[in-house]
Structure 1
């Protein structure tokens, strides 16, 4: 692979990873905002949530870039190497394995150092693996320039999240 092709793949993966992380942020924040006990109704909280979305881009740029460059892209690269080493070809399932193994020491350190209760550290580790794993899987797809696949799976993800949020809101009342 030439230097120009490598830079193109790297840029694609970076953009898609940042996009997925930005899209996941409201998914994380929405239940916390909607569960505010001081709110009179769910409808009164939708407007502030929509108003805060542009600030997600401003405030989330640096953490998103750090996560992309230091967690997501190395996980994609290592999963490719491990796939070729142990399977002879790339396999998508190496991405979650690498992500889980890479984040496990951080979860264990948080639990052992007393920064979080063991159950809280375990749940945080699980959520981190899922959210960053999704970004890494989309980045892996983007490396091949499959914009249609990304759009299809992204739409499916948002429909699933929307359905889940509506179900939670329905049963919460």
Structure 2
């Protein structure tokens, strides 16, 4: 069982690295040209807004889950996590609906953010599965993966804010 978890963690780490040529979102952001077109600048601002929404979603989720832990409300926590996962998908789709940037680095950053949100949703599903099946290892591993993704997107947002 632990081999599967180690394999999944290595695979996830590999996939995160592959989605952005081993660069973090913040590193990709730092490669953006200073002279973005007006359209690409608007797309960058939109991406920043989407990242901010994702961060807010996770902060609210953490607060709600902390309260639910105190009250021992497992069913409500599961439902809240499912709703948060749907909200993450909504944010992913908002990014997808934006026009394609003409700037190659901005396109790469956008793709990286989307891949991170996608991995977050997969980890959330794995965490829900772990909770449902009573598998604390799966739950903990998924929580750790989500934490790593949140930290990366938080770091990106701080970079964007300057």
User: TM bucket by the smaller chain?
Assistant: 0.3 to 0.5
TM-score w.r.t. the length of structure 2 is 0.35
Q: Which has the larger radius of gyration?
A: 1
